[in-house]
Amino acid sequence: MEDLKLTINMLPKGAWNNDFSKTLSKKDWDKLRNFALKRANGKCEICGYKTSDLDVHEEWDFSIEKKTQTLKQIIAICSKCHGVKHFKNSVRLGYGEEAQEHFMNVNNASEMEFASHLNKSLLEYNERNSVYRWKIAANLEKFGGSGIEIKQNNIPLIKNPYENINWNEYDYLKTEYNNLFSIKSKKLYYLEPIVLYIYVDNYQGTLTIVCENVNKIEWYLDDIKIKTTYNVVGLFTTELKVKTLIGKNLKFKLIGTGGETTSKNFEILPQEVL
């Protein structure tokens, strides 16, 4: 089915925080938002529904080869059309059937045509997830944003020394644990800090540690302590964002009553669009 009035637009993971509603100041975003709302004049720009409560949505083109996302349009649309645009989120919130029905009504489409379009959107989404960093390209003057500076959402990549570890393989971890970490035991009757899980999200630039027997975690960048987070009691889950970090080697140290556990180095790659 071609020339659909209403389409599903799945933002790839690396672009989740690139939209101007998040990267611009409220003042600058309001300029773009109000420009679209004024043009719409209380009428959804896709389905024509009249309402005083329109959402403002950004439409993007993606080039995997150039790793570039280019702004196509900023449109004012009703909540139902917006739910179709972000179909995965509508499904997560339990509104998948309503979004499907609205898609079919607006496009005069069958269930098979909806399924075909959804599968195409999912395929594009998975292909675009091969890119961790997107460079933003836009002529904001066309959308009422003359003079607004575009900010690139550059985040360092994290090279994970534990990338191939399956944290669910308990027997393997029990025998290899001492080779994965540097461990110092302090007291005989207390267990040293133990890492249960490490997860690196290179789309959003976060490093998550799940551990136990821990009073606090210290983060070191090039052997300089940059952050300390304290645990109250029990299982400890903590996250570090690397967006503002400038350095090469990152590691963490878990400190508890029973000793210390220090990780290998996570390599921080330069802050640039990749």
What is the chain's pLDDT, residue by residue, as a tens digit (274 residues)? 568 999 999 999 999 888 899 889 999 999 999 999 999 999 999 999 999 999 999 999 999 999 999 999 999 999 999 999 999 999 999 999 999 999 999 999 999 999 999 999 999 999 999 999 899 999 999 999 999 999 887 789 999 999 999 898 877 677 788 889 999 988 777 888 999 999 999 999 999 999 999 999 999 999 999 999 999 888 999 999 998 899 999 999 999 999 999 999 999 998 654 4
Half-sphere exposure of 183 toward its Cβ, with a 13 Å CA cutoff? 14
Rounded to whole angstroms, the Cα distance separating 149 from 146 reads 9
Rounded to whole angstroms, the Cα distance separating 90 from 87 reads 5
pTM as predicted: 0.82
DSSP 152: -
- Give residues with Cβ within 8 angstroms of 112, minimum separation 6: none
CB distance 251 to 260 below 8 Å: no
Q: Tell me, what's the pLDDT at 190?
A: 82
DSSP 169: -
Rounded to whole angstroms, the Cα distance separating 148 from 30 reads 11
Residue 25 neighbours by CB distance under 10 Å:
11
Take residue 167 and report the two structure tokens written for it. Answer: 């944290």
